[in-house]
Structure 1
């Protein structure tokens, strides 16, 4: 097949996150299976307009907002070239059904519903417009097309909050992380927070909890790994014992995560929470709030702990550190081993070919 993967950013964009990892891991495997893939995305400052990586042709154009009309124009001029378009929704989709041939198969890939997050990042009027595009406009545009979600939470949110009534298939994230193997666990309690530094991740809640936790564990340390628009603000108020690393190469990131006792996510909601799976693969359980996506990625009492929204994070983390034993590491690794980018790509390929796939989430 000739496939266009249309995604807001590529993995080398300075604001790339889990959605970019998903799109790229799928694209690489499509090429490995013999398909032709074009990854169409925005262009960050300093990035080239195009290149080829791992056999995937990358085409970059536009910025945060201009990427949408530019990509539509680009596809319109090439509407006869592609058999399949993966239209990745990162807040709003690209509305590609409007510009491709009717016989071109379009799959809308949704990581999570953004309606409640628009207000954190945009002025009120623009947030309202974003909710309209994500809801009624997208629902009508993709009504004849199948959709892909990465978790049961996302399917439920699409149905209940967006009114999505078309077929939605679950294709989970896989996991791919370096495993150094010679890392010694920190002798003192150590927390790690992994992910983009953006408002809805609420990393500030972890910083607020540190002082109380260090009253009980004076040697407690916290590592924060990631970059994003909140980095400068967070760095200006780091409590004692906290290190904000910014971006780390994969092997170094894995070493820092594996040293930790517990991974903490204070996010308002996720599609899945790729950082949870990456931490689990290294035997590190997660403390998170019981919100969309994270309630799927964390198995409460087995691979981590889910806190009701409104719970004081310090109390939740303290309870986890008290309860923690070696069984969590074993169950974390077993849980992460159930997920594979290869298997997810095979499932997505079947959907692109119009084949039936097993509906059960439990199989994962």
Structure 2
């Protein structure tokens, strides 16, 4: 097939995150399987407009907002070329059904529903526009098209909050981490927070919790790994014991995570929680809030702890303190077993099944059992 992955950014964009990892890992596998794959996306300063990476053809154009009309125009000119379009929704989708042929297979890929996050990142009027596009306009545009959600939480949010009526298939993230080498868990209690530094990740709640935690564990150390628009503000208020590393190469990141006792996510909500599985693959359990996506990625009592949403820094500190008292090697074993159930190869199989009109479970029954179990 000739397939276009339409995504807001590519994995080398300065603001890339889990959605870009998802699109790239699946695109490169479909190209490796013999399909002709294009990755159509925004162009950050310094990036080439066109190039080929691992058999995937990149077409980059536009910035944060201009990428949408430019991509639609690009597809309109080539509307007869593609057999399938993967329309990745990052707040709002690209509305590609408007410009491709009716017989072109369009699959809307939804990582998480953004309705509550628009107000965190945008002024009120623009947040209302975002919710209108994500809800009624998207629901109408994709009403006859199959969709993909990355977790049961996302599927439920699409049904209940967006009123989505069409078929939704679950294709979760895989997980891959660099080999950390011979790294042992730190002797002193150590936390790690992994992910983009954006407002809805609420890293400030972890910083608020550190002083209380260090009252009882003065040797506690915290590593924050990631970059994003909140970095400068967070760096200006780092408490003692916290190191903000910014971007790290994959092996360096794995080495730091592997040393931690716990991974902490204070996010307001995720599609899945890729960082949770990356930590789990290295044997590190997660403390997170009981919110969309993270409640799918964390198995309470086995691979981590879920705290009631709405807690502040003090509540987060209490949850982390309790987890530090409980964590042992059993959690590490369970974490690795859980992470082993997910792979990008199996996710690519499931996505290809959707493109071919088959039920994804036909080729990945183990993942189907996981989705059913979670419900």
Fold match (TM-score > 0.5): yes
Q: State the alpha-carbon separation in 2 of the partners of residues 175 and 192 from structure 1.
A: 18
Report the CA distance between 1:181 and its aligned residue.
Answer: 3.0
Aligned to 1:201: 201
Aligned to 1:351: 354
* 1:42-97 CA distance string (max 9 Å, x none): 01111111111111011100000110000000000000000000000000000000
Q: State the alpha-carbon separation in 2 of the partners of residues 249 and 130 from structure 1.
A: 34
Matched ranges for 1:1-364 at <5 A? 1-311=1-311, 312-358=315-361, 361-363=368-370
Which region of structure 1 is more displaced relative to structure 2, 36-45 or 173-182? 173-182
Q: Give SS of 1:5's match.
A: strand
Q: State the alpha-carbon separation in 1 of the partners of residues 232 and 181 from structure 2.
A: 33
Q: Give SS of 2:287's match.
A: strand
Q: Give SS of 1:8's match.
A: coil
* 1:164-183 CA distance string (max 9 Å, x none): 01000000100011122301
* 1:196-225 CA distance string (max 9 Å, x none): 000000000000000000011000000000
Q: State the alpha-carbon separation in 2 of the partners of residues 225 and 142 from structure 1.
A: 37
Report the CA distance between 1:235 and its aligned residue.
Answer: 0.3
Q: State the alpha-carbon separation in 1 of the partners of residues 292 and 248 from structure 2.
A: 27
| TM-score normalised to structure 2 length | 0.96
Report the CA distance between 1:361 and its aligned residue.
Answer: 4.0
Q: Give SS of 1:173's match.
A: coil
Q: Give SS of 2:361's match.
A: coil
Q: Give SS of 2:360's match.
A: coil
* 1:265-320 CA distance string (max 9 Å, x none): 00000000000000000000000000000000000010000001123100000000
| TM-score normalised to structure 1 length | 0.99
Please tell me whether the aligned partners of residues 351 and 360 of structure 2 are also in contact (alpha carbons under 8 angstroms). no
Q: State the alpha-carbon separation in 2 of the partners of residues 102 and 282 from structure 1.
A: 45
Report the CA distance between 1:354 and its aligned residue.
Answer: 1.1
* 1:332-362 CA distance string (max 9 Å, x none): 0000000010000011001101122328743
Report the CA distance between 1:39 and its aligned residue.
Answer: 0.1
Q: State the alpha-carbon separation in 1 of the partners of residues 278 and 360 from structure 2.
A: 26
Report the CA distance between 1:112 and its aligned residue.
Answer: 0.1
Q: Give SS of 2:4's match.
A: strand
Please tell me whether the aligned partners of residues 198 and 228 of structure 2 are also in contact (alpha carbons under 8 angstroms). yes
Q: Give SS of 1:184's match.
A: coil
Report the CA distance between 1:184 and its aligned residue.
Answer: 1.9
* 1:97-137 CA distance string (max 9 Å, x none): 00000000000000000000001111111000000000000
Q: State the alpha-carbon separation in 1 of the partners of residues 42 and 112 from structure 2.
A: 20
Q: State the alpha-carbon separation in 1 of the partners of residues 50 and 224 from structure 2.
A: 32
Please tell me whether the aligned partners of residues 286 and 298 of structure 2 are also in contact (alpha carbons under 8 angstroms). yes
Q: Give SS of 2:64's match.
A: coil
Which region of structure 1 is more displaced relative to structure 2, 100-109 or 181-190? 181-190
Q: State the alpha-carbon separation in 1 of the partners of residues 359 and 270 from structure 2.
A: 27
Aligned residues: 364
Q: Give SS of 1:362's match.
A: helix
Please tell me whether the aligned partners of residues 201 and 268 of structure 2 are also in contact (alpha carbons under 8 angstroms). yes
Q: Give SS of 2:369's match.
A: coil
